Structure 1
Amino acid sequence: MIEQIQWQLKEGWTTFFLAWGMVLIAGYTMYEADLTAGLQVLMLIGTLGFMSGFLLAKSQFPWRVAASFSLVYALFAIGYILGARFLSADLTWNERVAELIWQQQEWLQKVFSGGTNREPLVFTVHTAFIFWVIGHTAAWYTFRTLRIWRVVLPSGILLLSVVYYYYGPKPLIAYMAIYLIMAMLYITRTYLAEQESEWRTSSVHYERSTTFNFLRASFGIALLALFISWQLPALTASAAVNDALGGVNQPWRRFQNNWTRLYSSLRSYGGGINDPYGGSLPLGGPRNVGDSLVMDVFVPQKLPYAYWHSTTFETYEDGQWSAPDGERVVHIPDDGLVDTPLEASRQVITQTVRNFIPNMGTLYGVPQVVGSDRQMFITRQLDGSRNNLITQVQSRYILQQGDVYNTQSAISTASVTELRDAGLAYPTWVDPYLQIPDSITPETIALAEELTAPFNNNYDKVIAVRDYLRNNIEYNDQIDAPPNDVEPIHYVLFELKEGYCNYYASAMAMMLRSQGIPARVSAGYAAGQFIEDANVYRVRASDAHTWVEVYFPRYGWIPFEPTASITVVERPLGEEGEGLFEPGVNAPNGPANDRNDFLEEDFLDPNDRIQDDALNFNNGASQQRFTLFGISDGVTLWRIAAGAAVLILSGIAMYLGNIINTRIETDILESYGRLSNWGKWLGLNPTQTQTPYERAETLTSVLPEGRKPIRNLTQQFVLHNFSPHDHTTDFNSQEEWRELRPLFLKRTLAKKWESFSQSLNWRSLRRRLRRRF
């Protein structure tokens, strides 16, 4: 039987709207995150769950019956709302219900048997049930059985997890701030509601403005705490903490991998990543990249050449390269390797990469990366046969320090003879890689023509240009930027005759294009240090590099090394491509290798890890995530939120503790009761026959320095209870407690330490220590 709900709600309508508001804020944050379409229904479902919980909390039903009713309501409400919103109107309701059930069965099958779920409605259904539960429990634990943290934490943790893993453009952290303020007001209001109930029962008179004053003070404390927390300096990710909490074999890592597999349809964002290469590559001044550890790459055996590819650049103009425009699509591991043009003399190898850069987006591998055990974004164009022409590969979900992944690469094994005989039958889609801006000087073109004229095949022409640059341009990564009125490639070739990899690669690409040879510049990392015993390439920031890739008909893009400081790519001389590995060594789709099996942990210096924003190989390439309150990353956001919560809760505890303490110490009866409690903590057990003065004497026997305030408080208790006359009204018990409280604390701590010391057998302990040492 539902009780009559009066307009004067016992817990207060402010409490009602604050509890409901926290559910709405969490739902609205999910909607703003835009993880999938239609999440606006979460606010409605959360509201229905809250109202259901409110009515059931006000009923006489026991909690098990109420929970059963709530489950029935949830099944009906969620099924009706989602069925009407997301499923075709042409289906009957029986068919819609069957479709929802079938999708859940398919999802459960993938949970236990593997596979990737791509149905977005599954996530919406699961989240809808979570919000129903959050709404129901928020109302139940507010209006039936008060459990503050069971109201605040569920929606708060959900909201924090969304904000923490969101890298999109919207300032979701602002909703976190609003939630923290509402949570503090809710905690304050529910405490006051309890006190008001006690005051009314005890016929204690209090000002009606007390509620408003408390809420106003709580709001001010919350704002102050948030303001202070957002003034704290940004903190970088801790590699040591990341290793401790997020090791390769830790359950949390497995949970993250399973999450991306089972909810693969969720939208992800590329903002906030710390990739060193962006969409452009300028020819600028000195290069300073540091020597921090970037990644370890395990391979089946040492490769004849290795580049770790990040970005491909197509267009050169005004001294700057830009990446080609392309479609960005999702590729899932279950789909196998990416369909690329069929090219001769290619062998697929698997690399296992351990990342050491916080917030990394790129999936590295030898060109051409064609697969990964991670869901990935591929930036592509299509050839005439609708095969993928890949220019960049990124992880769909941002990588953190310590993350391990596999990539599969179709590495070229073409021999010198094969490339010499490749011919000139270029497909039309390579035309953009023949582009030459008007700024390229006649001297540059003439030099390229002079170098290539003696040869009748493109391979030897490429080698001629490469060797000229390696032999005539001195490597120097500290050169000044070229003057504004001089073309950078011309400046390096004919005036400065010094440069670093960006200049070597740009000069070679432009010179080859001027002779009708398709060429492009690729950026990433050179091979790094190869550790023989572990088959691991150790790659550092100082290995950041650009190189040239030249297109050969039937064989695709082939890398060449024009930079004098890097070893050239040596190709086999035979008439047919030679395999890179012995039979059985390569396992293209095998499981990830555990790097710790190959490298001892003490070989890694934790201080060697790269930090956020430490990489910036070109102007503006490193990206940062902006929020309403400034720049933040996931780790900083977590600390800010945690710091704000601690400050808020500390402020609440101090404020409410002071109120409670004042009420106790100014009340004669409660003040005397506190004296009795202190006596018990000091080990005193007064009998029922002792008078108050006898109990006071017993207490002063163990705390003689507190004799005066103890006797004064006892005397006021006796006068209040037993005197026919009014006791002294101007007596200030708080003054007595200011003197007595530190004495009690000091004596109680001394008593506890004495008991602890006596519980230890020091003689036996010393004897055991002597035997051991």
Structure 2
Amino acid sequence: MAGLNPSLERTPVRTAGSVAINLPRIVMSWEDWLTFAVAVITFVAIAHSLEQANWVEGMPPFIPTVLLGLAIGMFTARTRLHALAIHPVGLALGAAVVVLVAQSYADGPTLADRLADFRVRMVEWFHVVRAGDISNDNLPFVTLVQALAWLAAYAAAWCLFRWHNAWLALLPGGFILLTNISFLDGQPSGDFVVFLFGAIILLSRVHLQKHLARWRAEGIDYPEFISVSLIQLTVVVAAALVVIAWQLPLGNQARAVESIFNTLARPFTSQSDQFVRLFHNIDSRRGANLHTFGNTLPIQGDVTLGSKRLFEVNAAEPGLLRATSYEVYTGAGWKAGPRDSSRVDARELAVDAQSAAYQARTVAILRVRLLSSESTILTPGVPLAANVDTRVDVAPGQAADIERMRSRRALGAEDTYNSFGSISRATAEQLNAAGTAYPQWVTDRYLQLPGSLPQSVRDETRRIIAEAGAATPYQQAKAIEAYLRTFPYDLAVPAPPPGRDAVEFLLFELKRGYFDYQASAMCVMLRTAGIPCRVAVGYVLTPGSGEETLYTVRKSDAYSWVEVFFPSYGWVEFNPTSDRPEGGAGGLSQPLVPSDPFVEPSLEDLFGPDFVDPTGGSNPVKDALAEEPVLNDRFSWLLLAIPLGLLSLLAAGALGLRVAWNWGLSGLDQRARLWAHTQRLAGWAGLGAREAETPREWSRRLGRAIQREEPAERLGQAYEESRYARPGQYRVGDGEALASYRSLRSALLGRLFGRKNRQAP
């Protein structure tokens, strides 16, 4: 009995251990669990990268979202239900996960309060999207990124465990990771290295599992721990590749490598106008341009401008370089209203010279050499013309009021152009005497204010004007400009909170800010006083930033200001931001083409072929207009649009045919699949099996009909053996079955396309 005691005592331990080991196999094999573990490591790297980006202060964590996405995707992929039946369940679970994670960013002391706030803010954001307005709420962005992270993980698990395709599993997550790190610093990060490491192992795992499944079906023996051995080999190879890649020159060590990476990242780093409109309030410290010159100008917070060189400009004096303007205020920023667009050929005056004949204005010339891509034409003052083909956007029905000028072809590094603009030279006395006889089109377009504008903004405007004793529009503009210039210049101010008017936020809470805030406040306040104006954006040439007449324009030179309309004198620039000189009469913008103050040639004369300078000199405008621009030939991706579209259609068609061809055949072995494919082809050719026929009878009839009796009989025999014989008793080998199928397929395709109407015997 004593000799039996050790055995009796070990039995429960062995049973418990066996249960612990076999418990995970109830769900799936250890091979699949190992694949799942590698997928977890790979996608946790993506989640960690998103968390480190800190796009929004207080962003909820991504790791739980990704892990739940992988788990839900794995369990749905391993069910026997059809995809159309199980996906709604998986997506509903995913929506619950995303809402529960994102609600932590909403306001409220309890879960119920936060969920209610989440619903209200998402509905408000939906209305903003439909109305084309600007949103300054970060909650939709938080929800969107969490949803994308969950979807990427869910789709990856589905591709791994349902389709056994590692490439499709990795592509969405890799896209998200590349997008994220391209906005971080433009260079690969540690998370990217971990992702690549996991991706290599995952690809090898899925490839091995496919072979293992085939070997098991064919009865081929293989080493018991082959997967462990392969993982060890893959880890060594992946580590070696990472070490080699780490030694390659990156960043500033090799401009060529940096250029290639920037080219690949450009589709992600180039912000679209819609993205800026809806998600401008995220962290902007990513190196992107502050102003995109699109259809919206959101007021952002915590701005970092950067120092990247954008242009080299030849100009006589420092001044403003105008890109575009905005006239519709939304409370969170500015939008471009309806515009008429027209094409203007190079060296042609883009405005109606007669209608643009304002007093006390001069033509300025700007010579620009681009150091990066930018198709918006910069002009000194209100745009007039350029020596490249352009498209101009004007106020409806007003050809003399150009709001934006763009090149008709893409402009990139080392391209050059000359542009021409109109700058006011009116004196304070002239502007004081301009009066208020504004044209109807000016008051209709440039006095717009939202109905939600707080009354406190109007009251503050009246107070400033009254204290300054300002009687004329010019005096009122100068009074408001002077008041706003007392606010300290600060790029680190926050963006307006959701639902808060930006101007009211600046005037009564921030009391400090940067040019977008101050320009917005001045324009809105002037409109409350009945003075037409608009916000213009572009760059500013800083005194001392250039050598003689050559200036380097950087991202840090981004700027915005106010253009105020004066009857008979047109648009005059004002600057309410204290970091640069003030505007108005003789202010920030200086004439770039000096002219005799008593000689003001008309636009028709300046741009006409017969103009002669009365001082005896040459016509600088005519000479600059005649200069040839430098337009480097670049590969046009539009040339690939048609072939790429055709290839995409062909690929989609091929994928659709492949899905249709294999539809309903999953789970069948090779012989049964070949038999099913033959039946499918024969049915299309009019030789389908009859109701009472056995497989052998049908194969004989098929062989006689297409004159392939021997291959048909051999394939029928292979199918019968797969159904009824043991694997070791096959008389027809797999190679013979495949050769027979190919022979039958060739004959059936010939019958299908060549003798389609031939009747079956």
TM-score (norm 2): 0.42
Q: Which has the higher contact order (CA 8 A, sep 6+)?
A: 1
TM-score (norm 1): 0.41
